[in-house]
Amino acid sequence: MDSVKIGLAGAGTVGGGVCRVLNRNQEQISARAGARIEVKYVTCRHPENRSDLVPLVGSLGIDWHEIVEDPEIAIAVEAMGGIEPARSYILAAIEAGKHVVTANKALLAQHGDEIFDAAAKKGVIVAFEASVAGGIPIIKAMRESLVANRIQSVVGIINGTSNFILTSMRKEKISFAEALSKAQKLGYAEADPSFDIDGIDAAHKISILSSIAFGGPISFDKAYIEGIRDLQNVDIEFADQLGYRVKLLGITKRRGTGIELRVHPTLVPERRLLAHVGGVTNAVEVKGDAVGSTLYYGPGAGSEPTASAMIADIVDVVRMIGVSSNHQVPVLGYKRKIENVDVLPMGETVCSYYLRIGVTDSPGTLADVSRVFADMGISIESLIQKEAVAGQGSTSIVLMTHTAWEAAVQEAIRRIEALDCVTGKIVLLRKEELN
């Protein structure tokens, strides 16, 4: 049997997983690929700390240039993470005529167009299944299995850390700070969790999925991003009472004049499967005009789940070695651009809303608030007014709107907060019915 040699830059959680799974399942993987896949060279910052990999690979080093310059290596695998030196490594590998496999969603979200253009010019493949939702084959499904469909929307729980925190807050009735601390102790959150809890990681991923869904460039810089850092238990509890679960969702939707691209905490009806995805698990719902709604569910991170996706990409590349680039699956699924992919401003988003308004307990308060919504053409679906706490003279109005323009809702909030009867900032959460 022929062999194909790969070079792996990065020997951390993901890179180590790739080496272990390749070694453990070599016979099965080789039979599927039609060639034996050999890890010739692995680079990492501290190879002296990865003696566990020595029996599994050809050699360990620190210089990724060794991979780029080795003519025997056909596939350059990137598991370093971050922007640099990962970007330089991938571009150098492409220039050297090597195929690339990466799990780097941040790099692709910010520099994917540059990388894909370089690969197209050299006629090499860039595979990136593991960049979104870990072990879930969502990119392959969208890029290949759903090609008959005009994609209507992609909505997903695509950050396990945030999902774990929200699940813990709801089930254990603990604060955001307590849930974050728990996630950090269990290894689900970094010491600096900003990328996860502020929605940036999810925005990287939904930007990639949006480009595959609609055939345009990656538009991370145009995404609306709102995290879960300020979410309060009281709103999770109100959502429960109203029949919803709060999830951090990445959302992209087709609209007549463009697409929506946003990440934010969202109320999901408890009757939907997505509402019941808990812990660190990921799930992505893709809606096509022919197939309807499809749901993809599984581990969104971790050493071997991510390695599973990366090795699947390696096998795909091995199968395509020697095949003309004209016969390769297009990197984003489109041979040519056919879609209007302008990202709409957030003000042009249309959805339903949850609002919690702190007010004084005085006559006419509800009428004043309702009048503002009527003036803005916003219809109220349901309303709860909590009894005032004795001696405090204040209460909360919780309401759900029918679908409305984001810009209209934001203007209504501005006007309501200016009323004498309103105390403090209004809490807003968006709602998705996922019909």
Rg of the chain over Cα atoms, rounded to whole angstroms, equals: 24
The alpha helices in 186-302, defined as continuous H runs, are: 194-197, 200-214, 233-241
Catalytic residues: 205
* Chain position carrying tokens 């790099």: 107
Q: How far, in Å, CA of 242 to CA of 255, rounded?
A: 28
| Angle, CA 155 vertex, CA 167 and CA 282 arms, to 5° | 40
- Judge whether 259 and 206 are in contact, CB under 8 Å: no
Q: How far is CA 182 from each of CA 148, 162, 337, 416, rounded to the nearest angstrom?
A: 44, 12, 45, 37
Q: How far, in Å, CA of 93 to CA of 178, rounded?
A: 44
How many helices (H) and strands (E) the chain has is answered by 14, 17
* Chain position carrying tokens 């309401």: 399
| Angle, CA 202 vertex, CA 196 and CA 203 arms, to 5° | 120
Q: How far, in Å, CA of 435 to CA of 431, rounded?
A: 12
* Cα–Cα nearest to 131, from 224, 33, 212, 43: 212
* First-to-final CA distance of the chain: 50
* Cα–Cα nearest to 155, from 307, 44, 287: 287
* Chain position carrying tokens 């679906």: 381
Which residues of 59-214 form beta strands (DSSP E)? 60-61, 73-78, 99-102, 126-127, 151-157
| Angle, CA 273 vertex, CA 269 and CA 277 arms, to 5° | 100
224-225 and 244-255 beta bridge pairing: unpaired
Q: Look up residue 17 and give its amino acid.
A: G
Q: What tokens does 28 get?
A: 């099965």
Q: What tokens does 204 get?
A: 């990287």
- Judge whether 130 and 313 are in contact, CB under 8 Å: yes
